[in-house]
Chains A and B, each alone.
Chain A
Amino acid sequence: MMWDTLQPWVKVLGGSAFAQWLGQSTDRIAWLFVFHLVGLTLLLGGTLVVSLRLLGVGLRSQPLRQLARDMAPWRTAGLLLMLVTGALIFTGGAVSYFEGQWFRRKMQLLLVALIFNSTLFRSVTKADEGRVSPWLARVTGGLALLLWFGVGVAGRAIAFF
Chain B
Amino acid sequence: MWMPVSELLQALERTRVGELVRESAFPYVEGTHVLGLALSVGTVVWFDLRLLGAALRTRPVSEVFENLKGWMFAGFGLMFLTGVLLFTSHATKAYANPYFRTKIALLLLAGVNSGVFHLTIDRRRAEWNDAPTPPLAARAAGLTSLLLWFSIIAVGRLVAYSM
Contacts and interface: CB of A to CB of B under 8 A. Distances in A.
Interface of A: 26, 30, 33-34, 37-38, 40-42, 44-49, 52, 58-62, 66-67, 70-71, 74, 149, 152-153, 156-157, 159-161
A34 B154 contact: yes
A44 B27 contact: no
A34 to B, nearest CB: 5
Given A44-B37, A152-B34, A156-B31, 6 more contacts: A45-B41, A45-B43, A47-B38, A49-B46, A62-B59, A156-B30
Tell me the interface secondary structure of chain A in the complex. Answer: helix
B55 interface: yes
B103 to A, nearest CB: 12
A38 B56 contact: no
Contact of A41 (B27, B59, B153): B153
A153 B68 contact: no
B46 to A, nearest CB: 6
A74 to B, nearest CB: 6
A42 B55 contact: no
Contact of A37 (B37, B57, B68): B37
Contacts of B158: 30, 34
B116 interface: no
Q: Most chain-A Cβ atoms within 10 A of its Cβ — which of B43, B63, B70?
A: B43
Interface residues of B, number: 32
B55 A70 contact: yes
B35 A149 contact: yes
Nearest to A32: B157
A72 to B, nearest CB: 10
A70 B30 CA distance: 31
A48 B42 contact: yes
A41 B153 CA distance: 9
B23 to A, nearest CB: 13
Nearest to A35: B154
Given A48-B38, A49-B68, A34 B157 contact: yes
Nearest to B39: A48
7 contacts: A40-B37, A41-B45, A44-B37, A45-B41, A45-B45, A49-B43, A156-B34
Given A58-B67, A74-B55, A156 B27 contact: yes
Contacts of A66: 58
Given A44-B42, A62-B59, A161-B27, A30 B157 contact: yes
A71 B154 contact: no
Contacts of A156: 27, 30-31, 34-35
Interface in B35-72: 35, 37-39, 41-43, 45-46, 49, 55-59, 63, 67-68, 70-71
B6 to A, nearest CB: 28
Contact of A42 (B42, B57, B59, B161): B42
A109 B127 CA distance: 47
Contacts of A61: 63, 67
Contact of B42 (A45, A60, A157): A45
